[in-house]
Amino acid sequence: MAVPIRAALAGLCSGLLAALLTTAPAQAEQHDQAWTFSVAAHAPQARLALDDTTGRLSLSVARAGRTVIEPSPVGIVTEQADLSQDLRFLHREDRRIDERYRTKSGKRLERRVRMNETRLSFATAAGARLDLVVRASADGIAYRYVLPAGHGDVLGETSAFNLPSDASAWLGTYRADNEGQFARYTAESAPTGEYSDQALFATDGGYTLLAESDLTGGYSGARLAHDQGTGTYRVRLADARVRTDDSDGPLATPWRAMVTGDLATVTRSTFTDDLAPASKVTDPSWVRPGTVLWTWLAGGKEAGQSLAAQKAYVDYAAERNWPYEAVDAGWYFKADEWDTTDPDWQTNSWMPELVDHARAKGVGIIVWIHQRDLDTAEERARWLPTLERWGVKAVKIDFMDSEAQPMLRWYDSILAETAAHHLMVNFHGSTIPKGIQRTWPHVMTLEGVAGEEKRTNTAAHLTTLPFTRNVIGSMDFTPGAFQRVGLRPNSDAAEVGLAVAYESGLQMLAGTPESYDERPLARAYFDQIPAAWDDTRLLAGRPGEEAALARRSGDRWFLGGVYAGPARTAEVPLAIGPGRWLVETVQDGAGGLVRNRQVLRGGDTLGVEVVANGGFAGIACPWRPGVISCHR
């Protein structure tokens, strides 16, 4: 029996040695672990690495084998633990996301979401836990931190984005109202300072727009901090301490998103909406996008204080079949004198009379109101039911001017309460969309942009907005201010084109009735444009130089082009589908706006004569014999 025993022992030892030899490489990998994430071979790919010495995480992104984001730190610090280092890997979970949803506004109404999600769990030696959730789609990579209850307040993130130093960068200087202008730099040459967290970069891997999604009062808004001479952009929170409540359970931070692809992909992307939670409005049938006659730049506070002036604006909107008229500051300037203990206190305002007058003419009323008058629950209980009872359709709320946690908690309240009272919302002096329009579809538009009111805008800034601010959601730039000659950097035809180049669920037109009547081609074009789109395509673009977009409603494509620099013949690929198209354009002529008509095939190049810092607007409809106009 001795020989068989010796043979068995030898076989066992040989097996153990073989096992050790085969497991050694796997153990080495565990000390320097890495994970990759992608939804398809042609899609952007993220790589997360855990350093075997420091326990630090870094994330990089590539597309088509080329660098998009260089290895960048990932981590978060709470009052209980530093979760940016000394981490060890615990386990991994994967799932596939395949969703459909419908919006009320935006680049297209029907949405399809396909993403791969991976949840990686880590812990420190002391047992503090961190889950990192990564999502990958065809047009983006995003990650967020999930912390268990009891983690304490958040003191900051070590999150950052490392860009190649020579990457082109289009950055907007950070402001609390998000109204900084976008200018071009390289990643390393941008001056030391803080920038909007919607920042566009171009590398040999394509374009990448940094963004944020699913920001609520459970956290703090972010901006990008940069030191000149490096390509690093650090995430800096608006609050030095983000307050948390254990009763709320685990904390999921906002998504740090990277919208990635060629310029057409980035421009068309709905990635930040796709990352956001599903709609909280059960029945959004009362939410209706549309064109708005906005009277602030047309008449100022004096018009806002005049019932007669507002009735005249309503009448003009009705003549044009524009569905809304907006009454800006001044209409409730005596509100503090109203006796709100009187059940009929609202009769002290002429607003109900205006609403009734407008309703009879098929026009809805939108009213401006200062955030300080909706600051408390008591104030909201005073105003919101009253506005609903009057028949007001939407509120334009102004001067939040903060992305700190207390203001974000106010957003959480006002969003739910305006939805309950069937009031659409336009936020001014505000945060930027960050997925809000998927979760709260009655948010029709937000400012968060250096728009028409600004007197220092440049043509380059105007041609950058479709690739930066407007990528992430509706933008209330308020185009159409023809009367502001000398106060805007563009031509009349470009001003018409902005109404399509810039997407907004409530497209607030900022001109005077007189300025429209003096430009009948512009007026007729505005009569045609919808504010909700079935599809959006970039036809031609170079940030800071040109942007030509096509947006479809039914079987018609609306075209908008804006340009910076000298006069030229703009060449616009008509990538709107096969067949023959009648294309009508509104262009700048020697004596004003002129119309041009031509029949082209899909895929042909549309040539448009553009003046210096000019542009164009257009409509393309299927051509057949006898069709002489796209206007209906």
515 conformational bin, left if phi > 0, alpha if psi -120 to 50, beta if neither? alpha
31-275: CATH number = 2.70.98.10
Residue 577's alpha-carbon distances to 304, 552, 600, 616, in angstroms, are 45, 11, 11, 21
pLDDT 10s digits, 439-479: 999 999 999 999 999 999 999 999 999 999 999 999 999 99
Given a contact cutoff of 8 angstroms between Cβ atoms, the answer to whether 202 and 541 are in contact is no
H or E element in which residue 513 lies = helix 513-517
State residue 171 phi and psi, 5-degree precision.
-125, 145
Q: Are strands 364-370 and 580-589 parallel, antiparallel or unpaired?
A: unpaired
Is 93 labeled as catalytic in the residue annotation?
no
The torsion of the CA quartet 620, 622, 627, 632, rounded to 10 degrees, works out to -60
Q: Where are the domains of the chain?
A: 31-275, 290-529
Residue with tokens 């609903």: 388
Residue 536's alpha-carbon distances to 108, 229, 264, 459, 576, in angstroms, are 6, 37, 10, 22, 10
Domain 290-529 has CATH 3.20.20.70: yes
Q: How far apart are CA 449 and CA 427, in angstroms?
A: 11
Q: What integer pLDDT is reported at residue 334 of this predicted model?
A: 56
* Token representation of residue 255: 């998504």
Is 453 labeled as catalytic in the residue annotation?
yes
Q: Which of 398, 403, 503, 588 is catalytic?
A: 398
pLDDT 10s digits, 93-134: 999 999 999 999 999 999 999 999 999 999 999 999 999 999
**Closest CA relative to residue 531, chosen from 292, 271, 358:** 292
The total number of residues shown for the chain amounts to 632
- Across 32-36, 349-353, 525-529, the highest mean pLDDT is recorded for 525-529
* Token representation of residue 557: 């494509």
Could you say which DSSP state residue 363 is in?
-
* Token representation of residue 77: 């610090």
Q: What integer pLDDT is reported at residue 348 of this predicted model?
A: 65
Q: How far apart are CA 425 and CA 512, in angstroms?
A: 23
Q: How far apart are CA 100 and CA 36, in angstroms?
A: 26
**Closest CA relative to residue 174, chosen from 139, 207, 212:** 212
Q: Which of 70, 197, 453, 546 is catalytic?
A: 453
* Token representation of residue 547: 């942007």
pLDDT 10s digits, 238-263: 999 999 987 778 999 999 999 999 99
| Share of the chain residues as helix, strand and coil, in percent rounded to the nearest 5 | 25, 35, 40
Residue 218's alpha-carbon distances to 135, 250, 277, 352, in angstroms, are 21, 11, 14, 37
**pLDDT score of 581 more than 70:** yes
Q: What is the mean pLDDT of the chain?
A: 92
Q: Span 414-433, mean pLDDT?
A: 98
Alpha helices by DSSP H, 220-279: 263-268, 271-275
Q: How far apart are CA 135 and CA 150, in angstroms?
A: 26
pTM exceeding the 0.75 threshold for the entire prediction: yes
Residue 537's alpha-carbon distances to 295, 331, 466, in angstroms, are 31, 40, 11
